[in-house]
Amino acid sequence: MFDRRLVANFDWVLLFTVLLLAGVGIVNLYSATASWHSAATPLYLKQLLWLSGGVLIALIICLFDYRHLEHFAIHFYGLSVGMLIYVLLVGKTAMGAARWIDLGFFNVQPGEVIKIAMILLLARIFAKTASPFGYGLFELWKPALWLLLPVVLILKEPDLGTAAMVIFIAVTMLLLAGIKRGTLICLGIIGVLIAVAGWFGLHDYQRARIRTFINPEADPLGSGYHIIQSKIAVGSGGFFGKGFIQGTQSQLSFLPERHTDFAFSVFAEEWGFVGSFTLLFFYLFLVVWGLYIARRAADRFGLFLAVGVTAMIFWHIVVNLGMVIGLLPVVGVPLPLFSYGGTSMVTTMIGVGLLMNVSMRRFMF
Amino acid sequence: MGLDIQWKELPAVQRRFLFYSAAAAVVFFLLLLRLWYLQIINYEVLQERSVRNRTRVLSLDAPRGPIFDRHGVLLVDNRPSFRISVMRQDVENSSLLFEQLAPLLEVDVAELESRWLKGKRLPIYRSVTLAEDVSREIMERVQEHSVDLPGVLTEVRPVRDYLEKGSAAHLVGYLGEITRKELQSGDFSGYRGGDFVGKTALERSFEPYLRGEKGQRLVEVDVQGKLFRQLKLEPARPGNKIYLTIDRDLQRAADEAFADQSGAAVALDVNTGEVLAMVSRPTFNPALFARGIAGDEWAILAKDGRHPLQNKVISGQYPPGSTFKMVVALAALRDGTIGTTKTIDCDGAFEVGGSRYRCWKKDGHGATNLKKALRESCDVWFYSVGLKLGIDKLSAAAKEFGLGSPVGYPLPGERSGTIPSQEWKRRHYNKPWYAGETVIASIGQGFVLATPMQLAVMMAAVANNGKVLKPQVVRQVEDWDGHLLQQTSPEIVRQIDYSPEAWTAVQDGLVAVVNAPHGTGHAAHIDDILVAGKTGTSQVVRRKSDEEEELDEKGEIPYRFRPHALFVAYAPAEKPEIAVVVVVEHGQSGGRAAGPIVKKIIQRYMELKEEKMVKEKG
């Protein structure tokens, strides 16, 4: 099973890029939590542990051929949906939303697990059914149902950000698989209708977030606070930034969630436009490299798998950055490899492992 | 598997891959544009906001200028006081905060709520005072809990400290929070709501000198409003030093001499017009005002029928009674109405226009000349002389001495008293003047009213042969570098012209009052100092007749109907230095009630002078 070619084809570029981004993330985390005086293990060290664990998981994933996963996709999916249901019934709550399962050493967020499961399942479906002519509306009702079941469950938690992520990933994969023009228009209209209807189904705090996104100054000390403070942090960084551990916004705790969702604001404040530009460049490289892996994949399952994982990473980056620089509403999406959090790190590294797996087996038929 | 390759190699699929990469690049480019907008274009605005975000300006109150007596003895100073306040920006849940704070501060939640509401009128960046002048224990307790009390500050600020308690309180005055009216008036530029300003007397008049300059502390705070570090300190500059003309020790003596009696006393330097002591009784403790007086404390002071807040030396108007007689005598001598030796027969009463005006001595004084008339305060002599002189001449003479109009006391609140004339009565009552009114005006009753300060100026003028002096209370104002900002020098308002014989005759009479047998002012006699003076006992309400006089159970006149006791004096008679006026409200007898106080003040003055001389020699 262990081929010499596997080692020869190992995707060092991908691993290097990932480690670079995660390394910068940990350094940034050190600064973001520098003013915290706590006897417990510092967060940057914990994050380093998560990263090591993540790399280990990614390498383990590389050990077996990803093609075996095609058969188990449906099982993963079933397990994830079961976890989503379980969490709705007896989940740990954070900020009034039920999102975790406590495994003792680790809190599992089914919302994260379902992203991977969804990618695997859709990759399997699209690999089997994609045609040169693209999908018509009636061929799509089955994958649509697979998608909507977990999305509804996630919205029930409620977790708008994760639900949007799952939909974005699915749509990205679908559009690559191909779709008929009429169907596209049809889906577009349905999407708009759902969005309008969804507005009325949103929780008050979610609606408030969207409203304050449109006009954050209306409630500067309330729900607009996050956006305003983050914009101040980013903007006050200027061209060269305030310097490492010199960001006043972050060091003086004006920046909320600065170690998780708003970690990039800390980075942008301290490293300025130069730092932000560099970081964005490497993220873009990661995304383009992911697409490159997909294009070179040995089979259609691998191709869709790689596209799905890349889409997942891409949308997380875009939604998170859009949020912290005030382009998108605050929905609580972490920046992959950068924000503190074991779940996000593990999910991302599973995705990276899958990408490596696909990449190193590109010549194996 | 081959099918896979075929699908992947489709131009449409290849195009989609290209499109995806391009789309990702475009999206990242948009993000970069946004970053450019925030970090480059909007940099200055956001940079400034980030500075404001983390810095707070804490205002440091300036200590008010200290006040010294004439010899540099500290009378009014400042002490550190602890204030608990809260930054409005940092309070999320005020009711929760107050529930935690109330037990620590030992006050009701309602009290905190009301202060909070009051403070909400202030701009957002101003702190709201929750408790003023708390004890050190309370301050330390709050500091211990500061972690749970976001935005709560403990500030140390200077508060007025009155070393002499209520002594000279009427001269110094008191402070109070600046009112909205004052803020809007334009006289208080640079002040802010919540500041304390002088409300009365010296504190008010010398506010520009005393206030000092506020300092600022620029501090960096974290999101909970907790102090992080100090960025800049502009220390407050204390107000200027004011040296008064009063002598702390003489002031104390005068205050103590009153015991619990009501009234006023003032001691003037006969040659300079400097006020050496100034007493208004009962007094109040200005410290109550320094930290913001409570409503009930204020009510007690304001409702007190003995008027503790009034400075009776300048605002209390009393009929001068017999103390006015020296003016009548002088005016009559100048006018030629009577000579120094000519006698008038007093049989105990004087009749004019069908009315009988009684002398205080029922049996009469018999043949009475000017000296005897002054010494024994014979009313009939003055009835007769005053009537001959006429009210208008009498009035003019009195006005020369500073009576009937403000004497120019440098602080606010001075009343002008009343010196009537025919014209005056026509103007105020639209009625003609009656002879009987001249008669009672001649003994300082009827319409005649004067403040103790006016009487002191009059007394000093009689003592120094006609120099009417402007009373002074401030010697000099000095800044902390020792520069003199203001210095007052003696100011002679006018020189009154009388013949030397006239002065001597009246002055001799006044010496006799205190020192001769039968003198009414014997209570002020001091063995080795020649004191000159004049008693006065003035009716408070005009009684219709003796029969209607109300008596209480003990057979005494009720307090409020008892006549005021007055005594005006100067010493030493040979070479006058000090003029003293004492009014004991409802003291019944000028000689018996006011005399001993005058004596104590003059005695103390001489003692202090001697001590000083000994000190200077040694």
Condensed to tens digits (0 to 9), the pLDDT of residues B33-81 reads: 999 999 999 998 888 888 777 666 677 889 999 999 999 999 999 998 8
Distance of residue A152 Cα from the nearest chain B Cα, in angstroms: 28
CB distance A160 to A331 below 8 Å: yes
Contact assignment for A253 to B223 by CB distance below 8 Å: yes
Which tens digit of pLDDT belongs to each residue from B282-299?
A: 999 998 888 778 778 888
Cα–Cα separations (whole angstroms), residue A167 to A12, A163, A170, A303, A307: 31, 6, 5, 19, 14
Contact assignment for B38 to A231 by CB distance below 8 Å: yes
Taking the CB of residue A175, how many other CB atoms lie within 10 A of it? 18
Q: CA angle, B386 as apex, B382 and B391 as ends, to 5°?
A: 150
Whole-number Å distance between alpha carbons of B286 and B165: 7
Which tens digit of pLDDT belongs to each residue from B105-145?
A: 888 888 888 888 877 766 555 678 888 888 888 888 888 88
B328 has pLDDT over 80: yes
Q: Which of B94, B167, B322, B442 is catalytic?
A: B322
Chain A environment of B36 (Cβ under 8 Å): 273
Structure tokens at A78: 């079933």
Could you list the pLDDT tens digit for every one of the 365 residues in chain A?
Answer: 556 777 888 999 999 999 999 999 999 999 888 766 555 678 899 999 999 999 999 999 999 999 999 999 999 999 999 999 988 887 555 544 556 777 766 778 888 899 999 999 999 999 998 888 888 888 888 889 999 999 999 988 778 888 989 999 999 999 999 888 888 898 899 889 988 887 777 777 777 767 766 666 565 545 566 788 888 889 999 999 988 888 877 776 667 778 888 999 999 999 999 999 999 999 999 999 999 999 999 999 999 999 999 999 999 999 999 989 988 887 778 999 999 988 899 999 999 999 999 999 988 76
| Tally of residues, chain B | 618
Q: What is the ipTM of this complex?
A: 0.92
B304 has pLDDT over 60: yes
Query: Least CB-CB distance to B40: which of A273, A300, A321?
Result: A273
CATH T-level assignment (fold) for domain B57-244: Penicillin-binding protein 2a (Domain 2) (3.90.1310)
Contact assignment for A235 to B47 by CB distance below 8 Å: yes
Architecture of domain B248-297+308-544+556-617: 3-Layer(aba) Sandwich (3.40)
pLDDT at position B548: 46
pLDDT at position A216: 63
R_g of chain B computed on alpha carbons:
36
State chain B's maximal CA–CA distance in angstroms.
155
pLDDT at position B46: 87
Whole-number Å distance between alpha carbons of B474 and B409: 11
Residue of chain A whose alpha carbon sits nearest to that of B224: A253
pLDDT at position B1: 45
Contact assignment for A176 to B35 by CB distance below 8 Å: no
- The pLDDT-based confidence of B154 (bands split at 50, 70, 90) is confident
Domain boundary assignment for chain B: 57-244, 248-297+308-544+556-617
Residues contacting residue B77 through CB under 8 Å, at least 6 positions apart = B66, B160, B161, B163
What is the model's pTM? Answer: 0.63
Distance of residue A118 Cα from the nearest chain B Cα, in angstroms: 20
Closest CA to B225 of B327, B79, B125, B122: B125
pLDDT at position A172: 95
Which tens digit of pLDDT belongs to each residue from B217-239?
A: 777 776 666 666 777 788 889 99
Contact assignment for B10 to A229 by CB distance below 8 Å: no
Query: Least CB-CB distance to B12: which of A178, A291, A314?
Result: A178
Residue of chain B whose alpha carbon sits nearest to that of A278: B32
- Fold: same for B57-244 and B248-297+308-544+556-617: no
- The region that residue B377 occupies, defined by phi over 0 for left and psi between -120 and 50 for alpha, beta otherwise, is left
- Average pLDDT for B200-207: 92
Active site residue B589: no
Which tens digit of pLDDT belongs to each residue from B526-571?
A: 999 999 999 999 888 654 444 445 555 666 778 888 899 999 999 9
B317 has pLDDT over 60: yes
B464 has pLDDT over 50: yes
pLDDT at position A223: 55
pLDDT at position B545: 47
Phi–psi pair at B494, nearest 5 degrees: -160, 160
Whole-number Å distance between alpha carbons of A18 and B615: 91
Residues contacting residue A34 through CB under 8 Å, at least 6 positions apart = A245, A251
Interface test with A, best of B5, B46, B87, B219 (most A CBs within 10 A): B46
Chain A environment of B42 (Cβ under 8 Å): 235
Structure tokens at B441: 């005006």
